[in-house]
Structure 1
Amino acid sequence: MRKLVYVILTTMAVALVGCVTINVYFPEAAAQKAADQFIGSVLDKAGTAEKPAAKEPPPAPKSDAGHPSAMLLDLLIPAAQAAETPDFRVHTSATDAIHARMNQRIGGILGQLLDSGAVGFTHDGMVAMRDAAKVPLSQRAQANAAVADENRDRVALYREIAVANNHPEWEAQIRAAFAKTWIEKAHAGWYYQNAAGAWQKK
């Protein structure tokens, strides 16, 4: 009996340590979801497609409440679920202000530059002038300022999200998640850089 108790306690300790370790790592799925939502709300002006109706959940299995192994699982599963779906913070007063400025630019000069092909999304989560000849000489200073402002906000956004999640060291990984989504959500006809840095048209 004492051996069984020892095995159960050892299993619990290992499982709990594993859960704590999981929380230390960068929550890639949560960051990608946050990037999808943030960027989608900046770029997508049209309404989203209607979602299919949710399926009925399968019937719950019979309860083994009271059994020692069931009690152990009841203790461990909530902790494991919390580790799998961390609370990833994106909205702060700073990121909301950045979001508003990005919306204004994408609805104005930056959107026009992307539509014309003068500017494109880089593979590292920024924007860059791709073909200055597509911008009239009288508007180039304004276009360059818009690109610089957008890049300044993007750098600040990635840093702010990392800090808001109490992990400044995640900044590069957050930037990578956002870089992927900027390109994935780019409108048809817009330019983006592939991993090698070559420009491609969506």
Structure 2
Amino acid sequence: MRKALIGIMTSAAIALVGCVTINVYFPEAAAQKAADQFIGNVLDDSGVAPAAQGSGAATPAKPVPGKQPSASLLDLVIPAAQAADAPNIQISTPQTDAIRVRMTARFGGQLKALFNSGAVGFTANGQVVVRDAGSLPLDQRSQANAIVDEENSDRDALYREIARANGHPEWEAQIRKTFAEGWVQRSPPGWYYQDASGAWKRK
């Protein structure tokens, strides 16, 4: 009886470790760093002015020196050395490099002007949308829609390719969310973005 009980508990512990490791451990800090690098390259290379300090969405809280984070179930099932050694996120592949070149050209051209005018804004899911078509002359609206469609096609491909390149296609939604926050944080004052509720805000 005792051996059977120990066997059941051991099996349950192994199953718990497997579930937690697979479903919980998304390297969020590494993903934020990768997103910031990619977005910074696109905006900087296209001549977009950098965001002012303290503007935009809230940045992740920084750890307080000398204060240890509280223990959690994750600490018990994932060795400390593994958690501390967060993997890097691969963001440079032939596909993502080609997407970055197209995005840079788009921002350096008409997309930056559309953001500056307030006609377009960032969505909460990492895309771009025409938010105020009325601010554009009639003869420019179809072209603005075409630019937004091209941008969103590249964005969808980017998030999917980064997840695939890192061997975790299931990370696509989390990568998309990380990039969505990064675009807002790195954008200059005056650009529009949607908050989590879908409401439009201006930096």
TM-score by length of 1: 0.71
Contact 1:119 1:129 in 2 (8 A): yes
Q: Spell out the pairing of 1:1-16 with structure 2 (5 A cutoff).
A: none
Q: Secondary structure at the match of 1:120?
A: strand
Q: Which moved more, 1:21-30 or 1:186-195?
A: 21-30
Matching residue of 1:199: 200
CA distance in 2, matches of 1:46, 1:118: 17
| C-alpha contact (below 8 Å) 1:23/1:83 kept by paired residues | no
Give deviations 1:14-68, integer Å, cap 9, x for gaps.
9xx89x94897211110010001100111233798xxxxxxxxxxxxxxxxxxxx
Q: Could you give the per-residue CA deviations for residues 58-111 of structure 1, whole angstroms, max 9, x where no partner exists?
A: xxxxxxxxxxxxxxxxxxx9x926862203111000000000000000011111
User: Conserved in 2, the CA contact under 8 Å of 1:125 and 1:180?
Assistant: yes
Deviations along 1:90-147, whole A, 9 cap, x unmatched? 1000000000000000011111100100000011100010100111111111100000
How many Å separate the matches in 1 of 2:133 and 2:84?
A: 47
Give the structure 1 partner of residue 145 of structure 2: 144
Percent same amino acid among aligned pairs?
64
Query: Runs ≥4 in structure 1, deviation > 6 angstroms?
Result: none
Q: How does 1:21-40 map to 2 (within 5 A)?
A: 21=21, 25-40=25-40
Give the distance between the partners of 2:84 and 2:189, measured in 1 at CA: 37
Q: Over the residues paired in the alignment, what is the CA RMSD in angstroms? A: 2.6
Q: Give the conservation status (yes or no) of the 8 Å contact 1:125–1:178.
A: yes
SS at match of 1:89: coil
1:116 counterpart residue number? 117
Aligned mates of 1:22, 1:87 — CA distance in 2: 17
1:52-201 equivalences in 2 (<5 Å): 80=81, 84-201=85-202
Alpha-carbon distance in 2 for matches of 1:189, 1:147: 19
Checking the alignment, whether the CA contact within 8 Å between 1:118 and 1:134 is kept in structure 2 is: yes
Bigger RCO (CA 8 Å, 6+ sep) = 2
Question: Which deviations, in whole Å up to 9, do the C-alpha atoms of 1:141-166 show, x marking residues without a partner?
Answer: 11000000000000000000000000
1:118 & 1:21 partners in 2: Cα distance? 43
Structure 1 portions without partners, runs of 5+: 1-13, 49-76
- Aligned residue type for 1:33: K
Q: Distance in 2 between matches of 1:125 and 1:47?
A: 20
Instruction: Determine the C-alpha separation between the residues in 2 that align with 1:23 and 1:92.
Output: 25
Is this contact kept in 1: 2:49–2:188, CA < 8 A? no
Larger radius of gyration: 1
Aligned length: 157
Does the 8 Å contact 1:123/1:192 carry over to 2? Answer: yes
